Structure 1
């Protein structure tokens, strides 16, 4: 049974009206404030900082995205709730141009609900460690990140597996355990700015700890799961300065779901990965994704928020 409640919005209680000062009240003295200079950070800087904070590619690789048909599986929750979550993740993926598998397809996004997320994660890694660490570098975030995945308490935890592939053929570009020989790739060009090799997401494993969801409702949770299903996200990212669904568990009342900022990041990542430019180099990816996000935000008329001036001593 689901242990979290759907919280109805509470109507704000109006403040009592202020009474006018009586004739016996002395007039308030005027206060002269010194000029306050508010420095507004450039939008480009904010975007770059967000990408650097959130992005969590596999070791020595660039940011990965889905190219395969997406199939979402949700287990250990009532069927209608699981279907609602799978539908929402699939809807966001469709908006990014991805193909979605038919009902009954073999899941490559696994979302598992549990009463004790850490215990389940530990058991899964203990039983099938090779499913998380395949034994080849550059497919995941490494042993330290896996140890954190299985031990740290979080409402939601995730693990991504990615794979370098030939962008022209879709065939994998590295040798895996059990292969008789290394893949051969006919290079059409050599460039420091582009490569035939791209990084594809192949599997996302997510564990939702029911007892830690607090006041989060189903719609909010589904949007959060959509984001971490479709991009490689650092679970330790500090996103308080940004308008993003990743702030959900720090501020459930202030986050409705995926934001315009989130949508811009998702769209920019998936667009740049479709071109041969800067597929692998993470620094180059950041520059191109940032430029695309900045253009999108400016077209939407969004200005970078002003920094709060320091308090006077």
Structure 2
């Protein structure tokens, strides 16, 4: 059975202070940037990029949104929250993701808090099944780590037609009653400054070396931003980061350098989606889901090469 926790009247966080006016841009343009490199270097970096995202590794197929996404930003004042939601929706539309209409029930939450670790610990104390899909290391990082942004997912197995096969996940975290979050989880406003592990595997016998009888689908994503640890990151950069980790099943351990995922690395220069970020998302949402993992990795790598290499110098596809 799929568990869901709709937003209710009790908020998870109270509104944040407004960002400086200079950092509240009025436009919604998605800026994608990057440089071109030679074919050999490009392929090596593309393979490394996909590996570092954690997507389609080992025997685990990718998971993506099959149901329409409905995004809710929590813990910010209304203009900031709308800004985050709109920027994430712009990325979703650009990637050709399914998007829900107005008045939808949120299944992606981006919550801003003065202490993300404390919020996760309170959630876990009330509803430990919320972190059921996380490995031991991932759970430890969520509960006691120092990352400025933490996230987890709810996934399920469906057949090729999108019919639920076997639910492997608990529900996602919303905000308010039913979410497992105490009403007094956070009592102070936040402000964005300056603006032995287990791994999941799949075993199947489809009678095909290429296609699989089932696919993995995301149906919930929870992203929690630790406002003090986010430092001086612009709100637009945080929204782009949140979109990447909410729209694909990303790893938090070793982000690729040519990506918004490196936003919080000390040597990062990225403040928006890169060309490879967008190429990755577009490939993820157009490739067949009912393929074995190695084939999915190949799709993602080739999409990055198609984006980066001049057409005349592209390496031949295997």
Relative to the length of structure 2, the TM-score reads: 0.71
Question: Is 1:198 aligned to 2:215, yes or no?
Answer: yes
CA spacing shift, 1:297–1:196, aligned 2, 3 Å: farther
Identify which of 149, 161, 164 aligns with 1:172.
164
Contact 1:58 1:141 in 2 (8 A): no
**Aligned-pair distance for 1:95?**
1.5
Give the Cα–Cα distance (whole angstroms) in 2 for the partners of residues 177 and 77 of structure 1. Answer: 29
Give the Cα–Cα distance (whole angstroms) in 2 for the partners of residues 98 and 297 of structure 1. Answer: 22
Unmatched 5+ stretches in structure 1: 9-38, 134-139, 179-186, 305-313
Deviations 1:196-240 (A, max 9, x none): 311111111110111112111111111111111101111111423
**SS class of match (2:222):** strand
Between 1:248-257 and 1:91-100, the stretch displaced more is: 248-257
Contact 2:88 2:243 in 1 (8 A): yes
Unmatched 5+ stretches in structure 2: 1-15, 24-37, 171-203
Give the Cα–Cα distance (whole angstroms) in 2 for the partners of residues 292 and 212 of structure 1. Answer: 33
Deviations 1:213-271 (A, max 9, x none): 2111111111111111101111111423xx21112122587223001111111111112
Question: Is 1:146 aligned to 2:145, yes or no?
Answer: no
Greater Rg over alpha carbons, structure = 1
Give the Cα–Cα distance (whole angstroms) in 1 for the partners of residues 112 and 17 of structure 2. Answer: 10
Give the Cα–Cα distance (whole angstroms) in 2 for the partners of residues 48 and 120 of structure 1. Answer: 35
The residue that corresponds to 1:156 in the other structure is 149
Q: How does 1:96-111 map to 2 (within 5 A)?
A: 96-111=95-110
CA spacing shift, 1:57–1:204, aligned 2, 3 Å: farther
Give the Cα–Cα distance (whole angstroms) in 1 for the partners of residues 288 and 136 of structure 2. Answer: 27
The residue that corresponds to 2:277 in the other structure is 262
**Aligned-pair distance for 1:172?**
1.7
CA spacing shift, 1:6–1:223, aligned 2, 3 Å: farther
**SS class of match (2:69):** coil
Give the Cα–Cα distance (whole angstroms) in 2 for the partners of residues 218 and 177 of structure 1. Answer: 31
Contact 1:165 1:172 in 2 (8 A): yes
**SS class of match (1:163):** strand
**Aligned-pair distance for 1:50?**
1.0
Q: How does 1:1-313 map to 2 (within 5 A)?
A: 1-2=16-17, 41-56=40-55, 61-133=60-132, 140-168=133-161, 170-174=162-166, 190-240=207-257, 243-250=258-265, 254-273=269-288, 276=290, 278=291, 281-299=292-310
**SS class of match (1:236):** coil
Structure having greater relative contact order (Cα 8 Å, sep ≥ 6)? 2
CA spacing shift, 1:189–1:146, aligned 2, 3 Å: closer
CA spacing shift, 1:253–1:149, aligned 2, 3 Å: closer
Contact 1:198 1:273 in 2 (8 A): no
Give the Cα–Cα distance (whole angstroms) in 1 for the partners of residues 152 and 299 of structure 2. Answer: 26
Give the Cα–Cα distance (whole angstroms) in 1 for the partners of residues 169 and 233 of structure 2. Answer: 42
Give the Cα–Cα distance (whole angstroms) in 2 for the partners of residues 293 and 59 of structure 1. Answer: 20
Contact 2:255 2:261 in 1 (8 A): no
The count of corresponding residues between Structure 1 and Structure 2 is 253
Give the Cα–Cα distance (whole angstroms) in 1 for the partners of residues 260 and 313 of structure 2. Answer: 18
Contact 2:70 2:104 in 1 (8 A): yes
CA spacing shift, 1:152–1:5, aligned 2, 3 Å: farther
**SS class of match (1:201):** strand
**SS class of match (1:122):** helix
* Aligned Cα root-mean-square deviation (Å): 3.1
The residue that corresponds to 2:29 in the other structure is none
Give the Cα–Cα distance (whole angstroms) in 1 for the partners of residues 114 and 136 of structure 2. Answer: 25
